[in-house]
Amino acid sequence: MKIAIVGTGYVGLVSGACFAEMGADVTCVDIDRAKIEKLKQGIIPIYEPGLKSIVQRNYEAERLHFTTDLSSVLHEMKIVFIAVGTPSDKNGNADLSFVMTVSETIADHITRPLLIVTKSTVPVGTSHRIRDLVRRRLDERGLREMTFDVASNPEFLKEGAAIKDFLSPERVVVGVESECAKELMTKLYRPFLLNNFRVIFMDILSAEMTKYASNAMLATRISFMNDIANLCERVGADVNMVRRGMGSDSRIGRSFLYPGCGYGGSCFPKDIRALISVAEDVGYEMKLLKAVEEVNNLQKNILFEKLANVFGEKLNRLTVAVWGLSFKPETDDVRDAPSLTLIRSLLDAGVSIRAYDPAAIEEARRVLGDAVYYANDIYDAACGADAVIVPTEWKEFRLPNWEVLKKIMQRHVVIDGRNIYNGAELSSLGFEYHGIGQK
C-alpha cells in the first residue's frame, strides 16, 4: 500500500518509519529542505530512542522515501496523512494554516480516489473543512465525478517512547464516514494489532474530540496533583505517600499522578488552550480546564520560588546548575518546557546558569542562545554551583555521586522538581533538599 505522510516531525517521521516497518511503501514529505536532505543521508533531525535504526533500515530497503514535493507523488498514493504542526496562534486557537496549506496542495493535485487522513491534532470540524475545500477545488477543476474520503486518526504516541507506542498501540482511534475508508484503515493498522485488534472506529467529529479530551484529562491529573502537592507542603503531609495511597485505588489508578514543576511539551499546553478556545467559539466555558492551565502556569514558577525562599533577595550572585532541559526525559523537545520558564526567571534575576541535558542542548541553545553555559555532564554543571535544580527526570540523574558533588559545589542546595531523590538521605549527606509536596 502506498501512503504519504505530510509533515516529517516527531509524529510524521515516527508514523512513516513504523508504517514502512510493517511493509507499507511510505513517502515522508516536508517543506523543510534541509531536514529532507539530512534524512536522505541517514541523519535523524530529532532525538527519539530507536528511531534512527528503523528509519535507516526502511530507507535502505526502499520502503521509506523522502521528498519536499507532495504534488509530484500524490498521484501514486492511496492514503495521505496530514501530520504537520498545529501550534497555538496568538489567541490560543490551533493555528491551522499548515494543515490548510497541505489540504490545498492535495486539492489542487489529486487525480484519483484518495483517503485524506488528519493525524495532526485539530479542532473538531477540521477534517470536514478539509473535505469541503477539496470538494470545492475538484468541482472547480471540472472533476465533479471524482470521489475521495476523509478520516481522522489522531495520534497518541508519547515522545521518548514513540516507536514502542506506535508499533504496539494501546488503541488506535479512527473517525470515518465511509465503508471504504474504514476498510483501508483496517488494512493499514491490522499488522500492528494482529492478536488483539484495538482500532476504535467512530464518527470523525468524535475522533477529533477524543484526542483533545484525552490530553485534557492527563493535564488535569497533573494539575490536580500539583495542587494537592502544594497543599501537602503547607499542612505537613508528604505527597509521595498520598500519591501511593490514592493510586492504589483501581478507580483512580497510578499513572499521571506525579507532582512536579508543571507540564510542558508540544501538546498539552497548546491543546488545552485550543480546547478552551473551541468551547468559547460555541459559547461554552471550560471552567475546569481554565483552572488546570492556571495551576500549571503557577507550578512552572515553583522551582524559582523555592530557590528564592532559600537564598532570599540576593540571587544575582548565585550560580545554579540546571539538570534537564527537555520537557520530559528521552526527548530533545524543549517546546514549552518548565526548564525554560525557570531559566528565564533565573536570567532575569541575574543568576549564572550552568545547564546540562543528555539530548536537548542544541534545541535549548536555539531558544536561549549563549545566555547559559552548556555543560558536558551533571558534574560540569554543578561545578562551583550554589544549588542544583532538576526540572527533568532523566534516568542518568537518579544516582549521582553525592560525595563528588559535595566537593565541587560551592553550597549544597538541591531543588528536585520531579521528586527523584530521597530527601532524608540527602540531608544526612549534608545537602539542603527541597522536593515538591514534601515537608
Ligand X SMILES: NC(=O)c1ccc[n+]([C@@H]2O[C@H](COP(=O)([O-])OP(=O)(O)OC[C@H]3O[C@@H](n4cnc5c(N)ncnc54)[C@H](O)[C@@H]3O)[C@@H](O)[C@H]2O)c1
One-letter identity of residue 393: E
The 10 Å Cβ neighbour count of residue 303 is 30
Query: Are 118 and 177 contacting, i.e. CB atoms less than 8 angstroms apart?
Result: no
CA 375 vs CA 41, 70, 356, 365: distances in Å: 29, 41, 5, 12
Residue 4 in the binding site for ligand X (CB under 6 A): no
Candidates 126, 132, 136, 130; CA nearest to 116 is 130
Question: Quick one: CA torsion of 240, 246, 252, 254, rounded to 10 degrees?
Answer: 30
Residue 130 in the binding site for ligand X (CB under 6 A): no
Binding-site member from 1, 31, 237, 420 for ligand X (CB under 6 A):
31
Backbone angles phi, psi at 27, to 5 degrees: -115, 120
Q: How far is the CB of 251 from ligand X (least distance, A)?
A: 27
Q: Which is nearer to ligand X, 66 or 148 (CB)?
A: 66
Please list every residue from 139 through 178 that binds ligand X, using CB under 6 A: 155, 157, 159
Residue 209 in the binding site for ligand X (CB under 6 A): no
Please list every residue from 292 through 351 that binds ligand X, using CB under 6 A: none
Q: How far is the CB of 401 from ligand X (least distance, A)?
A: 33
Alpha carbon 111 to its chain's center: 35
Total of residues contacting ligand X (CB under 6 A): 26
Per-residue x/- track, 224-263, ligand X (CB under 6 A): ----------------------------------------
Per the annotation, the verdict on 267 as an active-site residue is yes
Q: How far apart are CA 82 and CA 78, in angstroms?
A: 13
Per-residue x/- track, 262-291, ligand X (CB under 6 A): ----xx------------------------
Binding-site member from 3, 4, 5, 8 for ligand X (CB under 6 A):
8
CA 352 vs CA 102, 245, 407: distances in Å: 44, 40, 19
Half-sphere exposure of 356 (CA within 13 A, CB side): 21
Question: Segment contacting ligand X (CB under 6 A): 96-104, 167-175, 225-233, 292-300?
Answer: 96-104
Q: Which is nearer to ligand X, 80 or 315 (CB)?
A: 80
Question: Quick one: CA torsion of 328, 241, 421, 268, rounded to 10 degrees?
Answer: 10
Residue 6 in the binding site for ligand X (CB under 6 A): yes
Q: Which helix (H) or strand (E) holds 413?
A: strand 413-416
Residue 102 in the binding site for ligand X (CB under 6 A): yes
Q: Which residue is nearest to ligand X (CB)?
A: 9
Q: Which is nearer to ligand X, 77 or 426 (CB)?
A: 77
Q: Hey, which residues are catalytic here?
A: 267
What is the binding site for ligand X (CB under 6 A)? 6-12, 29-32, 35, 83-86, 98, 101-102, 120-121, 155, 157, 159, 266-267
